[in-house]
Amino acid sequence: MKKIQNYVTGQWLEGKGEGVPMFDSVTGEVVALSDTEGLDFAEILHYGRTVGGQILRNMTFQERGNMLKSLALYLVKRKEAFYELSYRTGATRVDSWIDIEGGFGNLFANASLRKLFPNQSYHVEGEPIDLSRGGRFMAHHIMVPKRGVAIHINAFNFPVWGMLEKCATNWMAGVPAVVKPATNGSFLTEAVVREVIASGILPEGALQLITGSARTILDTVESQDVVTFTGSATTGQLLKSHKRIIEESVPFNMEADSLNASVLGEDAIPGTPEFDLFIKEVRNEMTVKCGQKCTAIRRVIVPENLVEDVQIALGMALDKVTIGDPRLKEVRMGALISKDQAAEVRDRVQELAKTASIVYGDLDKIETIGADAKKGAFLSPILLREDHPFKNLAVHETEAFGPVSTIMPYKNLEEAILLAQMGKGSLVSSIATYNDKIAKDYVINAASHHGRILVINREMAKESTGHGSPLPNLVHGGPGRAGGGEEMGGVRGIKHYLQRTAIQGTPTTLTEITGIYQANAKYKEAEQHPFKYHWEDIQPGMSLKTHKRTLTDTDIINFSNLTWDHFYAHTDTTSLDGSIFEKRTAHGYLIIAAAAGLFVYPNKGPVAANYGLEDCRFLRPLYHNDTIYVRLTCKQKADRDVASAEHPSGIVKWFVEIFDATDELVAVATVLTMVQKKQETFVEMTDEKIEEYLSKLTPDMKPNWGIMTPQHMLEHLEYTYKIASGEIQDFEVATPEKILEKVHASLYNYEKFPRNSKFPSLEKDKLFDLKYPDLETAKAKFNEQREKYVVYFKEHPDAKLKNLVFGELNKYESYLLERKHLNHHFEQFGLL
């Protein structure tokens, strides 16, 4: 029988033991063997800290985020193979989608968080703190990657999502991971890791996989490591109390199964949308993944006068749930992960049934489609009813981790809240109500016992992700029984793998450390106007002092008339008594506008646009005839993604200090500008450059890729110039409409055309017939046609012409295409 392998210390290894069988949940067949015998866990952890950790720590947040995005795109293209394996865990297509593509979604979501971090390898948190009256001694907080590994001990229910939702956060933080999935289902985790490693996108050591037992893995953890656990509360508590965890003060994040509650609001009576949504939500949470979700609804809390209605409605909804082979489209619920798990669920139901009644389902009887119920780990949905939930506590203490929920009554909202709290802490709760006062009362009073609360009503139903769906930008965790930890949560989740450190020093020193200009730091006088620099060349602290301007009475009156801002301080000097103003006062936004007039560079350059204004403060009034000047200083830089038709750019935050004639600071603001990045990928194709490259081109040159000869290349370029000059326009754009905008926008980026790109009118792997007798003739025809292209746009500067690939192009876009296209083919023949 085949063994699945472990990926550790840079290699795929089999264990040296006999192995533990993993079973197909549907057929009962052995899928593979899991074996970790002989693995050196101390060596594995050390390898991650030293090899993977060093590379990840040195990457910027932007580099890590783009790495995650690339990995997600890579995995999405290979998802179907994972679905085939997922069926063997008993998961339906929908179940598998949550696990597989939900996992990839975590990579995408965390990748986008790079925009919220500085363009460096560590984070600067919060605002600066002035520790002295003179402003020469201050403090800030930075957060740097921990120098350990993230050890993820995962549950069986989500072999893919469970790994990627955690790894996405530690990789974004710059910390490598060692993943230990539950043995059942680890064959699916292994398949995903194989693709991750094969992609080459992650640095070596960033991910290691242990596919079976790892009982001694915590014996060598260190203080810089982070351990996360998902599973039963009993196992989690045992691991959390490990001697080494305590001795080394290792952060331990536990996310345990919890008795999550959903409440039906008193207003949500039968016939209301909220009642129907509630029934649908409970049914889904009982049957999706066969109820094997740590966020599933275990306790169904309903008004006592609606118990019968809910019981009947749920029974009718569950009657529609077909059970069987998860590969079949008509099947809505598959199998549990294993027969052992199914047996454990039966035991827990029997414990609950000592006081509660089973009102739907049968532990010993089940009808299946396309599968043998005796061979697979199948179980009927089980709905219980506990009429005395304040007296019989098993329903608040015993969890059946399967398709099992219990209905219980409440008299008033206060009782509903108390019942929800009796679960002693859960990952999630929900309430179905269209009454916002009920919603508020429940949320505020129940929040202490839940990590997340969903309010269900008719307005959010179509867009809701549901009671049981943790989201990467929200905290996932809960107090008490739920483990007391938290995962994900956007930026918050990433910070779990960063060490927060307070730093103290002068503003100048802290500017250098943080990469963010701190007020009162020394200025770095710019050699030229800062707006002349490209994004890469601008550095925090780079500064410009402007000339001066006097604000006149006329300026203030004109600004009032222009903006319609006729506030009395600007327009009625007879009303100043008892106010903070002494004379006619300049508008705050006039001051900002006047400051911009002083520091803005008028000529076209790398600064593409004003991007916004932040933290604007007016420290004292300015009156007519007051004189001001501005100190413009680069405060911070932030990278940005560009997907539209614009050149690559980043954001520069400028600290604007406005002083009066006595050098007193009177106003401050942070102005954001969009600044273009330098184009260093392509050679600008001037007449001289083209002549230089063509002079090097000889008939015997071989391409670096593709099958073209030099003459084929020139005749192809001549043909594209005929399109660009309008001679050939009788064609349809080949690029599908749904992606044309994206393809068109790619002209503006600084990325080369992929090698072996296929031109629509050319047959793949086949050369077209040559038109001209020799290369020299082809060169002459190329130059002649290019001249026609140049002349055309001189005579028609506003023209727009079709292109086969990129759609309609104006003069500038045609130039961008020409630059990319010539660079592509000249590089193809080694001319550049």
Please give the positions annotated as active site.
255, 294
Q: Partners of 703 in the beta sheet?
A: none
**Helix, coil or strand: residue 801:** strand
Question: Which residues, including other chains, have CB under 8 Å from residue 344's CB and lie 6 or more apart?
Answer: 401
In 10 A of CB 767, how many CB atoms?
12
Name the helix (H) or strand (E) containing 631.
Answer: strand 626-639
44/217 Cα distance (integer angstroms):
9
629/545 Cα distance (integer angstroms):
8
Residue by residue, DSSP assigns 686-707 as -HHHHHHHHHH--TTPPPSSSS
Name the helix (H) or strand (E) containing 510.
Answer: helix 507-514
CA torsion, ordered 314, 320, 322, 328, to nearest 10 deg: -130
> How does strand 297-303 pair with strand 357-360?
unpaired
134/199 Cα distance (integer angstroms):
54
Q: Partners of 429 in the beta sheet?
A: 261, 453
Question: Which residues, including other chains, have CB under 8 Å from residue 248's CB and lie 6 or more apart?
Answer: 221, 222, 223, 225
Phi then psi for residue 472, to 5 deg, are -60, -25
Cα distances from 237 to residues 177, 298, 423, 448, in angstroms, run 22, 21, 17, 21
Question: What per-residue string of b and e applies to 113-145 under the rule 16 or more CB within 10 Å gives b?
Answer: bbeebbbbbbbbbeebebeeeeeeebebbbbeb
For 566, counting Cβ atoms within 10 Å of its Cβ (0-12 exposed, 13-18 middle, 19+ buried), the class is exposed
> How does strand 123-130 pair with strand 485-488?
unpaired
Calculate helix-pair angle for 436-446, 413-421, nearest 10 degrees.
Answer: 30
The dihedral through the CA atoms of 499, 225, 33, 331 has a sign that is: negative
Residue by residue, DSSP assigns 302-324 as EEGGGHHHHHHHHHHHHHT--BB
112/641 Cα distance (integer angstroms):
9
569/89 Cα distance (integer angstroms):
73
Question: Which residues, including other chains, have CB under 8 Å from residue 180's CB and lie 6 or more apart?
Answer: 151, 152, 153, 154, 210, 214, 217
Which pair of tokens denotes residue 527?
Answer: 């050699």
